[in-house]
Amino acid sequence: MPIVIKPLPDQEELSQSLQLSRQLLYKKLKKVEEEVREIVEKVMEEGDGALHYYTKKFDGCDIKKWLIEEKELQNSWEEMDKSFQKIISDIEKRVRSFHERQKPFSWWGEHSASLWGERWRPLHSVACYVPGGRFPYPSSLLMTVIPAQIAGVEEIIVLTPPDAQGKVKQEILAAAFFLGVKKVYRVGGAQAVAGACFGTSSLPAVDKIVGPGNIYVTAAKKLLQGVVGIDSLAGPSEVVIVADKTASPHWLALDLLAQAEHDPLSLSILLSPDEGILLETKRYLERELQNQPLSFSREIPIYLYQVENKEKAWEAVNFLAPEHLQIITENPEKDWLKIKNAGALFLGPQAPVALGDYGYGPNHVLPTDKGAAFSSPLSVRDFGKFSSFIFPQDDETLPWEQFSQLAEIEGLYYHQRSLLARGGKEWPL
């Protein structure tokens, strides 16, 4: 299908398009959910036997030992060339520096004559899922493991699928060794998520499972959330770019294609009030696709919209709540203040999404499918939790009578008794 330039639809039409997109995603999830439910239940009942069965079925290999030996991790790092080692080292420094600033703190304060507050503590155990496939994704390992380490998680394991020979990509093993991860398991898909939720003879149960994966991984996380902690349900990737006449059409085309190449269900949108920019970007897109077509032949998920002005663009962005937002305008440092909903913002011509994907600092595990309207990127905060506390003192006048009246209204007899006993008005038995 050719790429066309259209006027920006009104919010009602955008809402209908979004509704259709969500319905498609829901139907796709529902289609695999029955199969995933069967996988989850089999893992729950059969443990390692189910892991073995599904790994052979989906990955085509017969795994004898799930846990990869630490020596293999070390060898993978030592066999990597110096340029790869430097890339991982440099990214680790940037990502760690950014995430160090996120660490939450406990607090306490005085209330009347008493104390109250919140105590923050890291989770005990976390599984970081790193996708497999034709290419390795060491960046996903860095983005999930580093914030868990900063939070102080005691037990961090990595789950990643093997290839048909039962091997895990060397780049992933090398990055794990560099970060000091001791436990990497060669298992992926819904069976890995279920194994980390319930535990098996070989795979420990964890408090939370984080990291991106395919639709089977997402469906398993959806089924098991509440039984085990999860970060988010990842949908197809998205970018919205808002550009004016100062932007480079060639760069815009490359940025749109960089997002589109993820998946035929990805979404790449360019909003601009400048017709010339849109026309030139369209020409570059067509030229690039002639030279290097996307790996799938279905509809190219790229949309070019002309807006009346930038204010209309900001309205559309806040409605769409995209995973990634690039602002390539004359004054991005002012324009970004108009944004309420976006997972990650990339300001100025030198900030393509790919710069963030590979570890400039912020996390690349982001809310999708309008999730940025109500949730945040993966962070150190996802690897811990708060407990509130109160410590009333004897010399404080406490609201026993008032709260007992509310307990009576709510029909909670022993709540009322518990309060009145301390207020000196206990009923005789």
Any idea which residue has 């990869």 for tokens?
68
90 and 124, same domain (yes or no): yes
Whether residue 427 is contained in a domain is answered as no
Decide: 288 and 260 in contact? Cβ < 8 Å: no
Whether residue 212 is contained in a domain is answered as yes
Pair of tokens at residue 201: 């003879």
Domain boundary among 183, 214, 231: 231
User: Can you tell me the distance from the alpha carbon of 265 to that of 300, in angstroms, rounded to the nearest whole number?
Assistant: 9
Whether residue 383 is contained in a domain is answered as no
Domain boundary among 176, 211, 231: 231
Q: Give me the pLDDT at residue 429, please.
A: 55
240 and 278, same domain (yes or no): yes
Decide: 51 and 203 in contact? Cβ < 8 Å: yes
Q: What is the CATH number of the domain that holds 108?
A: 3.40.50.1980
263 and 362, same domain (yes or no): yes
User: Can you tell me the distance from the alpha carbon of 126 to that of 385, in angstroms, rounded to the nearest whole number?
Assistant: 13
Whether residue 52 is contained in a domain is answered as yes
**Which segments of 69-128 does DSSP mark as H helices, in order?**
70-79, 82-100
- Number of helices followed by number of strands (H, E) in the chain: 15, 14
Q: Give me the pLDDT at residue 177, please.
A: 99
23 and 64, same domain (yes or no): no
User: Can you tell me the distance from the alpha carbon of 126 to that of 193, in angstroms, rounded to the nearest whole number?
Assistant: 11
Q: Taking the model in full, what pTM does it have?
A: 0.93
| 164-189: burial string, b at 16+ Cβ within 10 Å, e else | eebebbbbbbbbbbbbebebbbbbbb
185 and 58, same domain (yes or no): yes
Which residues in the chain come in under a pLDDT of 50?
none
Q: Which amino acid is at 373?
A: A
Instruction: Choose among 223, 291, 263, 265: nearest CA to 133.
Output: 263
113 and 14, same domain (yes or no): no
253 and 320, same domain (yes or no): yes
User: Can you tell me the distance from the alpha carbon of 354 to that of 424, in angstroms, rounded to the nearest whole number?
Assistant: 66
In this structure, the number of other CB atoms found within 10 A of the CB of residue 70 comes to: 14
397 exposure class (CB count in 10 Å sphere: 0-12, 13-18, 19+): exposed
Any idea which residue has 């003879």 for tokens?
201
Total of domains in the chain: 3
Whether residue 335 is contained in a domain is answered as yes
288 and 260, same domain (yes or no): yes
User: Can you tell me the distance from the alpha carbon of 300 to that of 165, in angstroms, rounded to the nearest whole number?
Assistant: 34
Q: Give me the pLDDT at residue 424, please.
A: 81
Whether residue 428 is contained in a domain is answered as no
Whether residue 42 is contained in a domain is answered as no
Q: Give me the pLDDT at residue 297, please.
A: 56
Instruction: Choose among 205, 34, 178: nearest CA to 95.
Output: 178
Any idea which residue has 């932007």 for tokens?
247
| 134-156: burial string, b at 16+ Cβ within 10 Å, e else | eebbbbbbbbbbbbbbbbebeeb
Pair of tokens at residue 417: 């008794």
Pair of tokens at residue 270: 């360019």
Give how far Cα 236 sits from Cα of 22, 29, 57, 61, 322, Å.
11, 12, 25, 28, 11
Q: Give me the pLDDT at residue 427, please.
A: 66
226 and 241, same domain (yes or no): no
Whether residue 332 is contained in a domain is answered as yes
75 and 199, same domain (yes or no): yes
Beta bridge partners, 158, equal 128, 184
Pair of tokens at residue 274: 């400048």
Any idea which residue has 């989770």 for tokens?
123
CA angle 394, 398, 404 (to 5 degrees): 130
Q: Give me the pLDDT at residue 335, please.
A: 97
What residue numbers bound the domain in which 130 lies? 47-231
User: Can you tell me the distance from the alpha carbon of 183 to that of 165, in angstroms, rounded to the nearest whole number?
Assistant: 20
Domain boundary among 214, 231, 248: 231
In this structure, the number of other CB atoms found within 10 A of the CB of residue 100 comes to: 12
Residues involved in catalysis: 323-324
78 and 222, same domain (yes or no): yes
203 and 303, same domain (yes or no): no
**324: CB partners within 8 A, 6+ apart:** 237, 238, 239, 240, 259, 342, 343, 344, 346, 353, 356, 366
Q: How many CA within 13 A on the CB side of residue 148?
A: 29
The H or E element containing residue 237 is none
Q: Give me the pLDDT at residue 393, please.
A: 87
In this structure, the number of other CB atoms found within 10 A of the CB of residue 317 comes to: 24
